Structures are given as C-alpha cells and as structure tokens.
Amino acid sequence: MKTIKGPGIFLAQFLGDKAPFNTLENICKWAASLGFKGVQIPTNDPKILDLQKAAESKTYADEIKGIVNAAGLEITELSTHLQGQLVAVHPAYNDMFDGFAPADKRGNPAARTEWAINQLKYAAKASRNLGLNAHATFSGSLMWHTVYPWPQRPAGLVEDGFKELAKRWLPILNEFDANGVDVCYEIHPGEDLHDGATYERFLEASGNHSRACLLYDPSHFVLQCLDYLQYIDIYHEKIKMFHVKDAEFNPTGRSGVYGGYQGWIDRPGRFRSLGDGQVDFKSIFSKLTQYDFAGWAVMEWECCIKHPEDGAREGAPFIKDHIIRVTEKAFDDFAGSGGDEALNKKILGL
C-alpha cells in the first residue's frame, strides 16, 4: 500500500487581484504557510501560468516549477476545467459558456471548440514538461438538457451523443497518451460524464482508452444521492486524482435534488467547507489507501457560508489528519511461528 500525498490545495477559487492571491509566488507562500504541501494549478489565468508557453518551453516550465518548489511545495496537477467544458457545448448554453473563451472566440462555437481542443493538447505537453502524470478537466456536455427527459429521448440519441463526445476527445486523449499523462474527468452534474454509468458509456465510445481516467470528488455524489463509497470499490483502478470537498444534502417537502432554482444558501444540496458537511472522509481515505491510490489529496474549497481563507486554514490540518500512514507489517506478525515447506506439509497432514 501507499501513503496518500498531501495536503494539496486547488488554487482556482483563491486567485484574485490582491496579495497574496495575485501571483503564483505569493499564493504559493500563502498556501505553504497554512501547511499545504502541494498546489493544483488552473490554466486559464495567465498571471500565474501561460499554458501555451509551458507546453512549448521546458525552460519556462522549469521556472514555474522553481517558483512552486521555492515555497516548499510541489505541483500536484494542472487543471483545464473551463477549457474542457468548451470541448462540447450544446447550443442552448452558448451564451453562458462564451465567457470561458477568449473574446475573439465568443459568438463562434466552432472556433471556440477548436481553441478548447488546442488548450487541452497544450495541457498534455505542459504536464509532461512539469513532470506530472495526471491532469484534471471536465468532459463538456451535448446531452445534459435531456438528463431527465420530457418528452422521452429519441432512440439512439444517447449513443450518438457519446459517439460525438468521444470523437472530440480521442485526439486529446491520444495527445495525453503520447506525453504519458492521464486525463482525469471530474464527474460532475452538468457534464455528460456525471456518474459511473455515463463514464462507462464514454469509455465504451472511446474504445476503452487507457488515458480516460477519473477525478474523484465525493461532494458531487452527495448531491446526486449516489453511493460515493461503493463508487471507489467499482472504479478504484481508474481513480487517479482526488478532490477533498465536503457537501450536505437536506431535502425538504419543498425542494430536493434539483434545487428549485434557488441560490446555494437555500438549496437542499450545498457544498461546505471540510468537516462542515456530511461526507464520510474517514471511510474514503481508508478505501483509497486500501486500493493503493498513489495520488494527492487536494482540497477544493466551495462553501456558501464560510469565508474561503478560513476554509483553507482549516483544510490543511483536516486533510493531514485523515491521511493514513500505511503499515509496513501485519498486525499479527508478533504471533508468527515462521515455517517452511516441510512444516506446512506437516500441518496439512501430508
């Protein structure tokens, strides 16, 4: 067994225009001061990382790595959540997702998709240059508007949807494969890959591509009423990344899983700071350790109540206290009687 690495922190929700959140150097020093050992870096903010430059220049990638290492940290992974979303966008969501793309690609879905695909390919090369072996992203979605169908879905719609999704992702997956990096899809409502069944459909459509892996985030399963512990039992061989994020689900007579179009504070399903929700992290860390998960435990902060800086300050020791240092011997070794083949045969009556 391996001891899970951590604690790490996903920087996306903390970046801003004011120190210490305004530069990679400053935010790394801040994270280290709280006890974090690694940072997961989003790739949509050029003030902390120029993705194309990191892909094309090993020297630049080494400089980025040097900034992080100087703070006493490691880079856990890169993230292209926003760009991955744009690989597949249903036209109903064009206006809402246009903000994820550069200004010159907005209003032009074809150009936006091409840009997103190229961004993912840059991420593959940048990950290699940084010495990383896993990458976080979203799948995008062509079918989310049919998730709870009325009227019923036409025959073949889902099969055609996954066929198209795989067609868009296969060149990206092949690029990651060429660079020795796993693509870890965050299974997330709003994405076509939003539970185990949809992940399996995508795997089938992509020819069971070896680089199509998983980012495990139990918070999204709490809000779907999905068994997030059994999920580990089923998919542990594909889980290459771990977001430590808490959530709660408290349905009422007025509202349930769909949330009633309410703001986060009033929804039955809410993301919470670590330790404030309902996720059984002791069991999660035990299962991931049991299955030899070799990656990082990375805090993703999202909470509609607590201040993010307090969530981060509490998050590092929370993760540290849940990481299990694996045993190097069996608990009953003290009672061992030794033995050899002759003794074994004697015990067996042979």
Q: What CATH number should be reported for the domain holding residue 233?
A: 3.20.20.150
Six token digits for residue 15: 């970046």
- pLDDT value of position 335: 66
Compute CA distances 125 → 166, 182, 226, whole Å: 21, 12, 35
Under 8 Å CB-to-CB from 189, ≥6 apart: which residues?
A: 220, 223, 224
The answer to whether 41 and 75 have CB atoms below 8 angstroms apart is yes
The answer to whether 131 and 77 have CB atoms below 8 angstroms apart is no
Report the run of H or E that residue 13 belongs to, with start and end: none
Strands 74-80 and 134-137: parallel
How many domains are there within the chain?
A: 1
Conformational region of residue 131, where left means phi above 0, alpha means psi within -120 to 50, and beta covers everything else: left
* Closest residue by Cα to residue 139 from 209, 202, 210, 225: 202
pTM above 0.85, yes or no: yes
- pLDDT value of position 334: 66
Distance CA 111, CA 117 (A): 10
Distance CA 206, CA 54 (A): 28
Structural domain boundaries, residue 313: 5-347
Distance CA 66, CA 214 (A): 28
- pLDDT value of position 343: 87
User: How deeply is 34 buried, as exposed, middle or buried, from its count of CB atoms within 10 A (0-12, 13-18, 19+)?
Assistant: middle
Report the run of H or E that residue 243 belongs to, with start and end: strand 239-244
The answer to whether 170 and 206 have CB atoms below 8 angstroms apart is yes
Tell me which amino acid residue 161 is: G
The answer to whether 204 and 166 have CB atoms below 8 angstroms apart is no
CA–centroid distance for 337 within its chain: 46
Distance CA 30, CA 23 (A): 11
The answer to whether 103 and 46 have CB atoms below 8 angstroms apart is no
Burial 278-290 (b: 16+ CB within 10 A, else e): ebebeebbebbbe
Q: Chunked in runs of 10, what are the mean pLDDT values of the chain (350 residues)? A: 96 97 98 98 96 98 98 98 98 97 98 98 98 98 96 97 98 98 98 98 98 98 98 98 98 97 97 98 98 98 97 98 90 72 90
